[in-house]
Structure 1
Amino acid sequence: MKTMKWFMSLLFVAGLALFLSSCALDVSAQDDTYVTLDINPSVELIVNRREVVVYANPLNEDGEVLLAEIDVIGLDLDEAIDLIIQTAIELGYIDIDAEETIVSVTAVANDPELGDKIRDRVKEHVNEAFMNRGMKGRGEDKGFTPEFLAEAESYGVTPGFLRLAQSAVIVSDGLLLEDALLLTVDELQAILKTAREEMHDVAQALRDEFLAARQALYDEYFPQIETLKVDLALAEDNLVTLNESLTAKIAELEAATEGTEAIQAEIDLLEADILALETNIQSLIDQIQVLREALLAEVEVIRDQFHEQSAAIREQIGQLVQTRRNQHHQDVEDFMNQMQQRRDQMHDEIEEFQNRRP
């Protein structure tokens, strides 16, 4: 018997097909790469084959502060990374007095070779940004926790893909993780881009509260959908059986030389049962669709509520950005004034440190 996960996946994928066609996605979007940078702050980017950033989003509260007053969308990848590193320094997220700084990088693309290429390019740009500032910093492949690695392995996907799927689940109402893992990289990226365009984002400080409220609605609606789905699967199985019986009776009628009226009567009964069952199946499908639409409508209400609260929080974030800038301004200014001298003095040491990356 089909499971609810399969059924919800079918519903979502059907909706996604309509969504993708309505968006008229460019074929080149299949060449986009999903990238994450963890300093902390943590941010996610989508980069096209021309190495231009087409999407940027925070992955935690510090990432939200980092991206609050900079816009990397439309920048070349090297410019975007340099701006992210510089802003992280100005806001005190990268300690200018630290012995060393590590930026963890992941990259996922439909084409694994392209993903590997972009990941290497990101690390190169990170290294260049630190070298230009005379700092011992480097980009490394992200190391995931054993628990996260085990979870990815249990789903049969890479850790980077699991992280992408999780991001899509957060911004897309009605999309379960099991559904997201059935999608392609470019489909998941399309979900992220559209969520940003439609301003579906919720402030990081409210995210856990929002997800809990949304999960409560899932817990209310999904069992009802599961019950209907079980009835639907049983009805579909019965329909197959009735159609097989009808086919056999029609063959029997065609071969019969006597008793045809009785056989025809049985055929008439089977056809009536099939018609009634088909009507019932359509009714079950309609009920499931009504429940799904009601679920999405209720989730949209709470998302709008959290979005309004997020606007107020983002005003506070703007003030926090200025506070952090003021707090670190003099130290950063002195640091930048000595950048050329420090770079000349530490070039070989930094290069050796960057070449030792795992």
Structure 2
Amino acid sequence: MKNKEINKRLANALGEAPIDLLEEIKSQPVRKMEEHDYITRQEPIKPRNIYWKPFFSAAAALGIFMLAFLGWFNQFRAVDSVVYLDINPSIEISTNKRDDVIQIKGLNKDGQELVDSIQYKGKDVNSVTLELLDALLEKGTIDERHHTMLLSVLNENQEKSRKQMAQLNEGIHNYFKGHQVKPIVLRQSIASTSSLEEFAEEYNISLGKMTFIKNLMILNPEFKVEELVDLSIHELIALSQKTGLDLKRILDIDDDDLRELKESYWDDEEDDDDDDDDDEDDD
């Protein structure tokens, strides 16, 4: 077909086309796009991590639970202070941040027998200490001649350690106002070291008593640890008085207690002299 003929047919076809075709196209309803396609979208679509949502929710819930548990444990079950009461027996009392007793141990045979009779759960350290004093009086461990006790508090917070010692000291003295006993309470705020812990464990004594012995040896370097560990607190005090040591350099002690301590020591010395005289008379 010649080009001239093709062009003629195309022209005829265009002429036969309806003149309102453009208007018809304009009148057609336009369907709106529900969302952009990859051509019209200006930003790339981010994948929806729908499969991770349950995991994130569970992880968040677990995190909240763990924080709550740790807060509860730190407040109620974690050891905050350790109180050592040495009279012979030796008692170790562990408390939480609220000063409630969470554990009590006897550090020797007499101490173990004593703590078995104490109901400490849900009680604060002051109440438990008074119950221990009841038991000690009942057993005759504390009497008019044996009423010296060593109170030691272990806490990283020195201010709280001193506060606890002051409260316990006041409670002990108030307790004995109703008894024919004048307590002598020697107090010390202590720190734990690996060497002190090893010695205390080796000789089966409290960390408080071991600290006291160490400080006595500092005041008198002639003392030997092997000679001191088997002595009671009463005997250690008597030894310190006999050798002229100033206990106020290593212990907190009320002036009234110090006077009572010195009087008790001299009374014991007089009793010992009387016993010696009696023995000589018998000979």
Structure scoring higher RCO (CA < 8 A, sep ≥ 6) equals 1
Larger fraction in helix: 1
State the TM-score, normalized to the length of structure 1.
Answer: 0.34
State the TM-score, normalized to the length of structure 2.
Answer: 0.42
- Which structure has the bigger radius of gyration? 2
